Amino acid sequence: MTILDSPVLSRIRRNHGLEHATINILSQRFPSRRLAGYSFPGGFFILGDIPTADLREAVIQALVRMNNGERTLALHDHCGTNYVASGFVAGLLAWLGMAGAKSKRDKVERLPLVIALATFGFIASQPLGPVLQQRVTTSGDPQGMSIVDVYPIKFGEFSLHRVATQG
């Protein structure tokens, strides 16, 4: 057993996977809609202008498909994990490029190197995010998770839904 199998992290990872699967399904139905999500142990939020009935249907379909073995639905190209991984590698290389620079002049002279290193780091790290998603931040195996309900929340023009899960 690893720390990722602890009850709280396991629930977050499974909810994160179901969140991605739901967004993947909704993105096929509503290709021009901007959607985002945020997962926590008790479920996840979906941010975006989506009718509650369509979201409920997508969550149910996502859970059924994941339970039937479609584990890759838990991965999403625009997951924050991808951005964090690329940003970390690019930032680390930029920091290394500035290591030892004392004066402003040294820093300015190194700027082209730092930009090149950060760009290289960003490009080279692209495969890292999906690997981290698959192995660390999401789970494509719902492990008996069930959907409690989908709750719409409105703040004027701002629309989001809370998807409550258990198990």
Indicate whether 157 pLDDT > 90.
no
Q: Which two tokens stand for residue 85?
A: 């991984």
Q: Which whole number is the average pLDDT over 3-15?
A: 95
Q: What is the pLDDT of residue 50?
A: 94
Query: From CA 6, how far away is CA 53, in angstroms rounded?
Result: 33
Query: From CA 113, how far away is CA 107, in angstroms rounded?
Result: 10
- In this prediction, residue 158 has a pLDDT band, given cuts at 50, 70 and 90, of confident
Please provide the average confidence, as pLDDT, over all residues in the chain: 96
**How crowded is residue 13: how many other Cβ atoms within 10 Å of its Cβ?**
23
- In this prediction, residue 152 has a pLDDT band, given cuts at 50, 70 and 90, of very high
Indicate whether 100 pLDDT > 90.
yes
Indicate whether 1 pLDDT > 90.
no
CATH of domain 3-77+138-166: 3.30.980
Q: Which two tokens stand for residue 16?
A: 């994160």
Indicate whether 98 pLDDT > 90.
yes
- In this prediction, residue 162 has a pLDDT band, given cuts at 50, 70 and 90, of very high
Domain residue spans of the chain: 3-77+138-166, 80-128
**How crowded is residue 96: how many other Cβ atoms within 10 Å of its Cβ?**
13
Q: Which whole number is the average pLDDT over 45-65?
A: 97
CB 77 within 8 A of CB 129: no
E strand map for the chain: 36-40, 43-47, 146-155, 158-166
Q: What is the pLDDT of residue 156?
A: 85
10 Å CB burial of residue 112 (0-12, 13-18, 19+) is: exposed
Q: What DSSP line would sit under 91-103, residue for residue?
A: HHHHHHHHTT--S
